[in-house]
Amino acid sequence: MTETEQGSYVEPGEFKRDTNYITTRITADGRDGYPAEPGRYRLVAARACPWANRTLIVRRLLGLESAISLGLCGPTHDKLSWTFDLDPGGIDPVLRIHRLRDAYLARFPGYPRGITVPAVVDVLTGQVVTNDYAQITLDFSLEWTAYQRAGAPELYPEPLRSEIDEVDARVFREVNNGVYRCGFAGAQDAYDAAYDRLFTALDWLSDRLSGQRYLVGDTITEADVRLFTTLVRFDPVYHGHFKCNRSKLTEMPVLWAYARDLFQTPGFGDTIDFTQIKDHYYQVHTDINPTQIVPKGPELSNWLSPHHRETLGGRPFGDGTPPGPPVPGEEVPAGHGAR
């Protein structure tokens, strides 16, 4: 999603985010009319978008590539919609559409809200099923178990769900959305308040993670996925572009080591396209960056430096195993990742 596509807006003062999504769910029992069936659905995402990036990571970790196909939009878009600029002729090869908007309108003619990624589309009808990004990843974990790979980790284990939900709520409010409140604040006092809230939360996370490897429990969970996609964009985008500049991620030792630990874990860093991330933010947000100049920095090879977080213990995948390499055709282009 982007700010304008999400229906978010800037009024004098605080940035607001529209959180009304298409809440239809794909479930094992098909109670909303959409049963979990391999080959029936296509996940439409963009590597640039942090909200869509979550679905790419969870799909990789759970090994759902063969069950749910992937369509990738380019890093920029026109005023109407995300577009399939990366595909030959600008047409998604499965859905046969140029704009994701077409799938929304196929189900909801005159759809009044933003055309956002991620979205799951029913290949049979060409209609969008859901764009409720938070529920999509939870349902990948809970409703698609029959089609997950052998050794898939539990990202939302039942004994930890209440704690995961509590952490996720604060991370969304103060960090995931907090960087946007800084970047799109419409007044100085609103920016100052958003800035203080963001770094108060980052300090809280640093304290929490100083003595434990992962956010909740001793394995990777949904909470880590949700925090990671903001942290990985912090220095390339949020520090400068969104004025979140008290400290760079590389200047916050605990969070920097934590982020590198996840980045170097299969399923995380191999979904990150820094080139598309920078192209999106700096070229699309012309109200913030009217020249559309994309910065060359920062240095990215340090993402591969030792993190030493393994000394805190923990088992990344619990009783499961790491995912294999990205499936052919879904690799991040050479030169677009850490190098």
Q: What is the pLDDT of residues 197-225, one digit of tens each?
A: 999 999 999 999 999 999 999 999 999 99
Torsion of CA 236, 238, 241, 246, to 10 degrees: -110
> Is there a catalytic annotation at residue 180?
yes
* Statement: residue 10 has pLDDT above 90: no
- For the chain, which domains are there? 9-147 (3.40.30.10), 158-312 (1.20.1050.10)
Question: Pairing state of beta strands 69-72 and 15-16?
Answer: unpaired
What is the per-residue pLDDT for 293?
Answer: 98
Q: Do 20 and 47 form a contact (C-beta atoms < 8 A)?
A: no
Q: What is the mean pLDDT of residues 293-303?
A: 96
Reduced to 3 states (helix: H, G, I; strand: E, B; else coil), residue 175 is helix
Q: What is the mean pLDDT of residues 8-37?
A: 83
Q: What is the mean pLDDT of the chain?
A: 95
Q: What is the mean pLDDT of residues 105-111?
A: 97
Catalytic one among 49, 73, 182, 244? 49
Q: What is the mean pLDDT of residues 275-303?
A: 96
Which residue, chain included where needed, has tokens 């990948």? Answer: 140
From 2-6, 124-128, 143-147, the region with the lowest mean pLDDT? 2-6
Per-residue model confidence as pLDDT tens digits over 27-64: 999 999 999 999 999 999 999 999 999 999 999 999 99
Q: Whole-model pTM? A: 0.96
What amino acid occupies position 263? F
What is the per-residue pLDDT for 1?
Answer: 54
Distance from C-alpha of 250 to C-alpha of 234, rounded to nearest angstrom: 9
Reduced to 3 states (helix: H, G, I; strand: E, B; else coil), residue 77 is strand
Assign 338 a pLDDT band (cuts: 50, 70, 90). Answer: confident
Distance from C-alpha of 175 to C-alpha of 197, rounded to nearest angstrom: 8
- The reply to whether 82 sits in an annotated binding site is yes
Per-residue model confidence as pLDDT tens digits over 226-266: 999 999 999 999 999 999 999 999 999 999 999 999 999 99
Distance from C-alpha of 102 to C-alpha of 332, rounded to nearest angstrom: 26
Distance from C-alpha of 205 to C-alpha of 263, rounded to nearest angstrom: 17
Q: Where are the alpha helices (DSSP H) in the chain?
A: 50-62, 101-107, 133-142, 161-171, 178-183, 188-209, 222-231, 239-241, 253-263, 274-284
Distance from C-alpha of 261 to C-alpha of 146, rounded to nearest angstrom: 29
Residue 72 pairs with which residues in a beta bridge?
45
Question: Pairing state of beta strands 41-45 and 69-72?
Answer: parallel
Reduced to 3 states (helix: H, G, I; strand: E, B; else coil), residue 27 is strand
Q: Do 17 and 177 form a contact (C-beta atoms < 8 A)?
A: yes
Catalytic one among 156, 180, 191, 282? 180
% of the chain beyond a pLDDT of 70: 96
